[in-house]
Amino acid sequence: MPAGQGKLMGLIAELAGARSVLEFGTLGGYSTQWFAAAVGPGGTVTTLEYEPQHAEVARANLDAAGLRDRVQIRVGAALDTVRELIDSGAGPFDVVFIDADKANNANYLDAALKLSRPGTVIIGDNVVRGGRVLDTSGTGADAADVAGIRAYLQRQGDDPRLDGTALQTVSGKGWDGFALAIVRDVEAGGTGAE
């Protein structure tokens, strides 16, 4: 994630008055640090990471930034760890950031809605992929990711609980973008606390 986009994620969390953030995909903890700074000393970031090695790198980076006490890293498949959060009655979260394996993006969005309230901001990262998200052929090295992103964007657009858009970004990493949505009503079309 480029520094400008990291700063934007932190600003979105601040604008939302976020005290709790849920993040799908930790990697080295870069976006996690932006969110942890935004929630402040009394806030929390819960981040889900599949790879134990990535979680260790993130912990070291958070320690170095002096933000580790605000972050809980849950290691394992995100669909499993988010189910544990749902089953334990966690949430609602003020901001949800989805930046894990793209093939599961629509599933992550469904889970995020179960951990949301009216006003929760949901951000999906890497939704443009150099324009490949427009490729409906179902071929290519990242076909599963593209299909997952398309399903995510379709779900975001169709769900009456959400009001959102997608934005393009350009950086040293190329042409990409993110989807931004706000939860308007957790009851429309289903419950947000099933």
DSSP letters for 101-115: -GGGHHHHHHHHHHT
What pLDDT band is residue 131 in, cutting at 50, 70 and 90?
low
Q: Where are the beta strands (DSSP E) in the chain?
A: 20-24, 44-49, 71-75, 95-98, 121-125, 162-171, 174-183
Beta pairing class for 121-125 and 162-171? unpaired
CATH top-level class of 3-183: alpha beta
Q: What is the pTM of this model?
A: 0.89
What pLDDT, on the 0 to 100 scale, is given for residue 193? 39
Average predicted confidence (pLDDT) for the chain: 89
Greater confidence, 168 or 173? 168
What pLDDT, on the 0 to 100 scale, is given for residue 93? 98
48 contacts 72 by C-beta, under 8 angstroms: no
Q: Has residue 189 got a pLDDT over 60?
A: no
Q: Has residue 146 got a pLDDT over 70?
A: yes
Ranking 39-48, 69-78, 122-131 by mean pLDDT, the lowest is: 122-131
Other beta carbons within 10 angstroms of residue 75's beta carbon come to 16
63 contacts 87 by C-beta, under 8 angstroms: no
Element spanning 81, H or E: helix 78-87
Q: What percent of the chain has pLDDT over 90?
A: 71
Q: Has residue 122 got a pLDDT over 90?
A: yes
pLDDT in tens, 159-169: 999 999 988 87
User: Would you kindly state where each structural domain of the chain is located, as residue ranges?
Assistant: 3-183
Tokens of 85: 């959060």
Greater confidence, 129 or 65? 65
What pLDDT band is residue 129 in, cutting at 50, 70 and 90?
low
What pLDDT, on the 0 to 100 scale, is given for residue 106? 95
What pLDDT, on the 0 to 100 scale, is given for residue 137? 72
What pLDDT band is residue 174 in, cutting at 50, 70 and 90?
confident
178 contacts 166 by C-beta, under 8 angstroms: yes
What pLDDT band is residue 132 in, cutting at 50, 70 and 90?
low
Give the list of residues 6+ apart from residue 117 with CB closer than 8 angstroms, or none. Answer: 91, 92, 183, 186, 192
